[in-house]
Structure 1
Amino acid sequence: MTYTENLWLYFTLLFGIIVVPGMDMIFVLANVLTRGRTAGLAATAGIMLGGLVHSIYGALGVGLLATLMPVLFKPLLIVGALYMAWIGVGLMKSSITVDHVGPADTRSNWEAFRRGAVTCLINPKAYLFMLAVYPQFLRPDFGPLGPQAAVMAAMTAGTQFAIYGGLAVAAGRARNLLVGNGTATIWVGRIAGLLLLAVSVLTLWEGIRA
Structure 2
Amino acid sequence: MFDLPTLGTFIAVVLGLFLIPGPAVLLVVSRTLQGGRKTGVLTGLGIAAGDFGHTLFASVGLSAVLMTSALAFNAVKYVGAAYLIYLGIRAFLARPGSPSLPAVAPIAPAKAFLQAIAAELLNPKTALFFLAFMPQFVHPERGSTFLQFAVLGLIFVVLSSLYTSLLALSIKPLGRLLGRLSWLARWQGKIVGAVFISLGLRVATQQR
User: Superposition pairs for residues 48-63 of structure 1, below 5 Å?
Assistant: 48-62=48-62
Match of 1:84 in 2: none
Measured against aligned partners, the alpha-carbon deviations of 1:113-155 in whole angstroms (never above 9, x if no partner) come to: 0111122223344223212211111111211123212211111
Question: 1:3 offset after TM fit, Å?
Answer: 2.3
Aligned length: 142
| Alignment check: 8 A CA contact 1:50 1:121 kept | yes
Match of 2:11 in 1: 11
2:7 equivalent to 1:22? no
TM-score where L is the length of structure 1: 0.59
Distance in 2 between residues matched to 1:39 and 1:171, nearest whole Å: 12
Task: Identify if the C-alpha distance between structure 1 residues 14 and 124 changes in structure 2 by more than 3 Å, giving closer, same or farther.
Answer: farther
Distance in 2 between residues matched to 1:130 and 1:119, nearest whole Å: 15
Task: Identify if the C-alpha distance between structure 1 residues 122 and 89 changes in structure 2 by more than 3 Å, giving closer, same or farther.
Answer: same
SS at match of 1:21: coil
Question: 1:55 offset after TM fit, Å?
Answer: 0.7
Structure 1 runs of 4+ with >3 Å offset = 87-90, 122-125, 172-175
Task: Identify if the C-alpha distance between structure 1 residues 89 and 25 changes in structure 2 by more than 3 Å, giving closer, same or farther.
Answer: closer
Match of 2:133 in 1: 133
Match of 1:36 in 2: 36
**Where do 5+ consecutive residues of structure 2 fail to align?**
66-71, 84-100, 176-208
Task: Identify if the C-alpha distance between structure 1 residues 124 and 20 changes in structure 2 by more than 3 Å, giving closer, same or farther.
Answer: farther
2:121 equivalent to 1:154? no
Code of the residue aligned with 1:111 in structure 2: it is K
| Alignment check: 8 A CA contact 2:59 2:150 kept | no
SS at match of 1:168: helix
Aligned-CA RMSD value: 3.0
Measured against aligned partners, the alpha-carbon deviations of 1:34-86 in whole angstroms (never above 9, x if no partner) come to: 1000000110111111011011011111359x6xx9xxx9xxxxxxxxxxxxx
Question: 1:160 offset after TM fit, Å?
Answer: 0.5
Question: 1:4 offset after TM fit, Å?
Answer: 2.2
| Alignment check: 8 A CA contact 1:23 1:123 kept | no
Task: Identify if the C-alpha distance between structure 1 residues 22 and 155 changes in structure 2 by more than 3 Å, giving closer, same or farther.
Answer: same
2:121 equivalent to 1:121? yes
Question: 1:23 offset after TM fit, Å?
Answer: 1.1
Identify the range of structure 1 (135-144 vs 33-42) with the bigger mean alpha-carbon deviation.
Answer: 135-144
Distance in 1 between residues matched to 2:173 and 2:19, nearest whole Å: 20
Task: Identify if the C-alpha distance between structure 1 residues 145 and 174 changes in structure 2 by more than 3 Å, giving closer, same or farther.
Answer: closer
Identify the range of structure 1 (50-59 vs 7-16) with the bigger mean alpha-carbon deviation.
Answer: 7-16
**Where do 5+ consecutive residues of structure 1 fail to align?**
74-86, 95-106, 176-210
Identity across matched positions, percent: 24
